[in-house]
Amino acid sequence: MKLTMRDLAQAGPVYQQVKNELEAMISSSHLKSGDKLPKVGEIARANNIPEGEVVRAYHEMVLSGLLNRSQKKNLFGETVFEHTVK
């Protein structure tokens, strides 16, 4: 998912930009209740930003009640997290 990232030096912390854009997509119904968000790595690669920034944005959105987070196992038995819009 490609986000409309502004000039990183002037627009505040990267995680906050990610969070703001996802919140805008939820409020505009581009993302609806039950929609799965892309994996952290997908957003990071598409926007050329560190995965940690996406993790922090998702974490803050879980804490604020906008996202649900569930833990699952992939085919290799590794733990993965899935985020969905509340």
Q: In this structure, what CATH number is given to the domain that contains residue 56? A: 1.10.10.10
Mean pLDDT over the full length of the chain: 88
* pLDDT at residue 8, rounded to an integer: 54
Instruction: Tell me what pLDDT residue 67 has.
Output: 93
- The predicted structure's pLDDT at residue 5: 65
**Quick one: tokens of 17?**
């930009």
The reply to whether 5 falls in a domain is no
Q: How many Cα atoms occupy the beta-carbon half-sphere of 80 within 13 Å? A: 12
The domain in which residue 51 lies consists of 14-85
Distance (Å, whole) CA 77 – CA 56 = 24
How many structural domains comprise the chain? 1
Q: Are the beta carbons of 51 and 40 closer than 8 angstroms?
A: yes
**pTM for this entry:** 0.83
74 is a domain residue: yes
Quote the CA–CA distance of 21 and 13 in Å, as a whole number. Answer: 13
- Tell which residue, 73, 74, 42, 72, has the closest CA to residue 58: 42
